[in-house]
């Protein structure tokens, strides 16, 4: 805040309805501490980055393999979340059935569940001896743990609730009478959903998908527990970063910078396309 | 109706043509119980105060809410168990509910598309409807770029393009400003006159109802209190609500010759000679007010009243009076000033017998 700014506001002070530009110190100081706390690690990452050896670090095949795997898995997990998550959100927002509140709580549980617990639970369900996994293995010869598919499943488990919650919120805010208008024109409930509701909630779906994608990209706990850490197959960027930190900190920083760049790109995309009204 | 009908799903006992409905909807303490019949080409207005059940009746007809009991027949086919998308019933919603992501053309093409027409065919039909509504120039516009009157016509075109056998209009003019309303009312009247099937419109505005409809059905508290032609209802109101709508003072009493003894209050002298329960009505303009008891006045209907309220009504002043008889009176601004009327002022009110109208209850 410049001096002129403060001077300008003074005569306006007694005019009601105008926001005062002075911020109370008990609010300002904790706010600045909080901001610094968020920024400092990112600045440290940039300051300590091995800029000189960076090109060399980033061109190593391991980095690209991990990045490619991360992008493929996060995108697949987002796709899977969309296919089952949007209908689930519709069910929660538009229908009444007994135990709906309970189902909703279950859907949101992975949001608060430690991801590593999610990984253990996935192993118990889809592991080779798991509740469902033993039949998948016996009947179809499908094994999920420690495969790339396993990574996708682990990421979906953790990321889908973000999409469901976001889409459900958008659906609840959308006027259900548009669906009624569509049915009076001869549209079945599914046609009404496909041709009217879906286009109306598209921004909410897109925002939810980006959230889910970002969450899937950073997934660590459930992935390492359920899918392990095999380079080229299940070693995504976060796992690669953690592993590199043990024996090659410079490589870990380089990998972290790549993830940071991806995150900033996502944030920029969100801001331009969905967060600001057209 | 005979057993030999041209369609198997026709139900004996239902009117073979047009609308034949008995709508019963229970919702908590509210119960709607309305019988509605109409021939093809009829325009019926459901008129009533807020909360009378007009919208409930309309939603039940459209299938958007289900009937507790009763039946709904259209052209001899029973529809009360049919889902809304399979009913040949179109709706123009109060706020139109045009799909915001579709152009006017695609909004209108929505119905034909749902009925199986190809994209090009549906659009061709939609273009025809828009043309008929003089909206051809706005075919490519999104709803948010349409004026209120244009949006209303697109909504009407969208409903008609699905070729309904029953068209429902929910407060079709309520969302429009006063000036647009006049134009749109005239156009809507023209389009409804062209519509060959049954149209039912819901409104709380008596003017809309009288201009647009051939027949009025007045709902109060979930029940039909009066139905008939607009002029019949305007001349012979049967409830206070209807009387207020058409601007008449209305009383119920027991007639003995030219005298009607009111259920509550004094007697009124009328020109009609009747016996038994009757209604007596007279317009507020038939009332003359005096500050002092008039002497030598020929009016036998003379009551002592007190001004309860005053409001402007067009270029007149409308006075609400209580006292021996509760009534409303219209007088000119000059007369109101001369009489020094103000809430609480004592007045005498007279009505000539020739200006009252009595009819059997």
Q: Could you tell me the end-to-end alpha-carbon distance of chain B, in angstroms, rounded to an integer?
A: 34
B residues 177-236 lying closer than 8 A (beta carbon) to A = none
Token pair in block for residue A54: 């960076």
Per-residue pLDDT for A120 more than 60?
yes
Of the candidates B235, B236, B300, B294, the one whose C-alpha atom is nearest the C-alpha of residue B269 is: B300
- B100 vs A contacts (CB less than 8 Å): 200
Establish, for the pair of chains A and B, how many residue pairs have beta carbons separated by less than 8 Å: 58
- A199 vs B contacts (CB less than 8 Å): 99, 101
Q: Could you tell me the end-to-end alpha-carbon distance of chain A, in angstroms, rounded to an integer?
A: 30
Percent of all residues in chain A with a pLDDT value above 90, rounded to a whole number: 50
**Measured between CB atoms, does B160 come within 8 Å of chain A?**
no
Token pair in block for residue B102: 């579709």
- B115 vs A contacts (CB less than 8 Å): 186
Q: Is B201 helix (H, G, I), strand (E, B) or coil?
A: strand
Angle between helix B104-114 and helix B119-132 axes, rounded to 10 deg: 120
pLDDT of residue A129: 85
Residue A201 — very low, low, confident or very high, per pLDDT cuts 50/70/90? very high
pLDDT of residue B257: 87
Residue of A nearest to B58 (CA): A184
| C-beta atoms of A183 and B64 within 8 A | yes
pLDDT of residue B298: 61
Least CB–CB distance from A183: residue in B85, B115, B159: B85
Least CB–CB distance from A187: residue in B85, B91, B93: B85
Following CA atoms B34, B37, B43, B45 in sequence, which dihedral angle do they give, to the nearest 10 degrees?
A: -10
Across A81-89, average pLDDT: 95
pLDDT of residue A43: 92
Mind telling me how many Å the CA of B6 is from chain A's nearest CA?
24
Residue of B60, B74, B88, B101 to mutate for A, most A C-beta atoms under 10 A: B101
Token pair in block for residue B121: 């065919």
Residue of A175, A179, A184, A202 to mutate for B, most B C-beta atoms under 10 A: A184
pLDDT of residue A274: 54
What residue segments make up the domains of chain A, in order of their start?
49-273
Across A11-33, average pLDDT: 74
Residue of B79, B84, B90 to mutate for A, most A C-beta atoms under 10 A: B84
The residues, any chain, with a CB within 8 Å of residue A258's CB and separated by 6 or more, are: A58, A63, A67, A237
Instruction: Give the least confident one: A23-37, A126-140, A170-184, B148-162.
Output: A126-140
pLDDT of residue B91: 95
**Measured between CB atoms, does B62 come within 8 Å of chain A?**
yes
Mind telling me how many Å the CA of A274 is from chain B's nearest CA?
16
Residue of A176, A178, A181 to mutate for B, most B C-beta atoms under 10 A: A181
ipTM of the complex: 0.77
pLDDT of residue B220: 93
**Measured between CB atoms, does B111 come within 8 Å of chain A?**
yes
Strands B301-313 and B287-290: unpaired
Across A134-157, average pLDDT: 90
pLDDT of residue B2: 42
CATH of domain A49-273: 1.10.3720.10
pLDDT in tens, chain B (361 residues): 444 444 445 666 788 889 999 999 998 889 999 999 999 999 999 999 888 999 999 999 999 999 999 999 999 999 988 999 999 999 999 999 999 999 999 999 999 999 988 999 999 999 999 999 999 999 999 999 999 889 999 999 999 999 999 999 999 888 888 888 888 888 888 899 889 999 999 998 888 888 889 999 999 999 999 999 988 888 888 888 888 888 888 888 899 988 898 887 788 988 888 898 888 889 888 898 998 888 766 667 889 899 988 888 778 888 899 888 888 899 888 888 888 888 888 999 999 888 888 888 7
| C-beta atoms of A188 and B85 within 8 A | yes
Per-residue pLDDT for A10 more than 80?
no
pTM: 0.77
Q: Are B165 and B198 in contact (CB under 8 A)?
A: yes
Mind telling me how many Å the CA of A77 is from chain B's nearest CA?
29
Mind telling me how many Å the CA of B36 is from chain A's nearest CA?
20
pLDDT of residue A273: 57
Across A214-233, average pLDDT: 91
Q: Give the span between the Cα atoms of A84 and A159, in whole angstroms.
A: 12
Least CB–CB distance from B97: residue in A181, A195, A199: A181
Strand order in the sheet with B357-360: B249-262, B267-282, B357-360
Per-residue pLDDT for A271 more than 80?
no
| C-beta atoms of B64 and A195 within 8 A | no
The residues, any chain, with a CB within 8 Å of residue B303's CB and separated by 6 or more, are: B266, B323, B324, B325, B327, B348, B349, B350
pLDDT of residue A19: 58
pLDDT of residue B7: 46
């Amino acid at each position: 805040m410049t001096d002129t700014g403060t001077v300008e506001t003074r005569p306006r002070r007694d005019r009601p309805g105008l926001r005062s530009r002075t911020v109370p110190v008990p609010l300002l100081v904790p706010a600045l501490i909080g901001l610094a706390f968020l920024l400092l690690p990112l600045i440290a990452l940039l300051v300590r980055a091995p800029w000189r050896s960076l090109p060399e670090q980033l061109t190593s095949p391991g980095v690209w393999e991990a990045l490619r795997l991360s992008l493929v898995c996060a995108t697949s997990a987002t796709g899977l979340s969309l296919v089952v998550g949007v209908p689930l959100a519709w069910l929660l927002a538009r229908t009444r059935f007994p135990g709906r509140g309970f189902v909703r709580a279950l859907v949101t549980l992975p949001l608060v569940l430690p991801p590593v617990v999610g990984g253990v639970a996935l192993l118990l369900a889809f592991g080779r001896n798991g509740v469902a996994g033993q039949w998948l293995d016996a009947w179809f010869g499908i094994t999920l743990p420690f495969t790339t598919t396993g990574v996708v499943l682990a990421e979906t488990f953790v990321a889908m609730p973000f999409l469901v919650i976001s889409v459900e919120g958008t659906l609840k805010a959308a006027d259900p009478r548009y669906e009624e208008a569509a049915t009076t024109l001869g549209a079945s409930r599914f046609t009404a959903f496909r041709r009217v509701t879906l286009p109306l909630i598209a921004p909410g779906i897109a925002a939810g998908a980006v959230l889910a994608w970002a969450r899937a990209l950073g997934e660590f706990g459930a992935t390492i527990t359920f899918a392990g850490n095999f380079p080229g197959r299940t070693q995504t960027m976060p796992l690669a970063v953690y592993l590199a930190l043990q024996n090659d900190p410079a490589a870990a920083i380089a990998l972290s910078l790549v993830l940071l760049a991806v995150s900033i790109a996502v944030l920029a995309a969100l801001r331009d396309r969905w967060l600001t009204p057209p | 109706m005979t057993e030999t009908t041209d369609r198997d799903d026709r139900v004996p006992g239902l009117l073979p043509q047009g609308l034949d409905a008995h709508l019963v909807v229970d919702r908590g303490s509210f119960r709607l119980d309305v019988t509605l019949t109409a021939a093809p080409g009829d325009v019926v207005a459901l008129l009533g105060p807020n909360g009378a059940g007009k919208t409930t009746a309309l939603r039940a007809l459209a299938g958007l809410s289900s009937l507790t009991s009763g039946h709904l027949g259209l052209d001899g086919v029973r529809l009360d168990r049919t889902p809304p998308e399979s009913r040949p019933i179109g709706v123009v919603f109060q706020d139109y509910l045009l799909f915001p992501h579709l152009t006017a053309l695609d909004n209108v093409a929505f119905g034909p598309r749902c009925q199986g027409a190809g994209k090009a065919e549906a659009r061709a039909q939609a273009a025809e409807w828009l043309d008929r509504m003089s909206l051809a120039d706005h075919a490519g516009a999104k709803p948010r770029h349409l004026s209120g009157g244009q949006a209303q016509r697109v909504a009407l075109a969208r409903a008609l393009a699905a070729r309904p056998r029953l068209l429902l209009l929910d407060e079709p003019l309520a969302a429009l400003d006063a000036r647009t309303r006049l134009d749109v009312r005239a156009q809507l009247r023209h389009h409804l006159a062209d519509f060959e099937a049954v149209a039912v419109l819901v409104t709380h505005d008596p003017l809309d109802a009288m201009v647009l409809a051939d027949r009025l059905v007045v709902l109060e508290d979930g029940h039909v209190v009066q139905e008939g032609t607009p002029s019949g209802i305007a001349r012979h109101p049967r409830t206070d609500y209807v009387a207020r709508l058409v601007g008449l003072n209305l009383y119920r009493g027991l007639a003995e010759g030219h005298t009607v003894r009111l259920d509550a209050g004094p007697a009124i002298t009328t020109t009609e000679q009747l016996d038994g329960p009757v209604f007596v009505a007279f317009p507020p303009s038939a009332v003359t007010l005096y500050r002092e008891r008039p002497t030598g006045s020929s009016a036998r209907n003379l009551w002592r009243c007190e001004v309860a309220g005053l409001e402007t009504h067009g270029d007149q002043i409308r006075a609400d009076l209580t006292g021996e008889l509760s009534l409303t009176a219209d007088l000119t601004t000059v007369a109101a000033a001369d009489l020094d009327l103000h809430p609480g002022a004592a007045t005498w009110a007279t009505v000539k017998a020739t200006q009252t109208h009595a009819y059997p209850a």
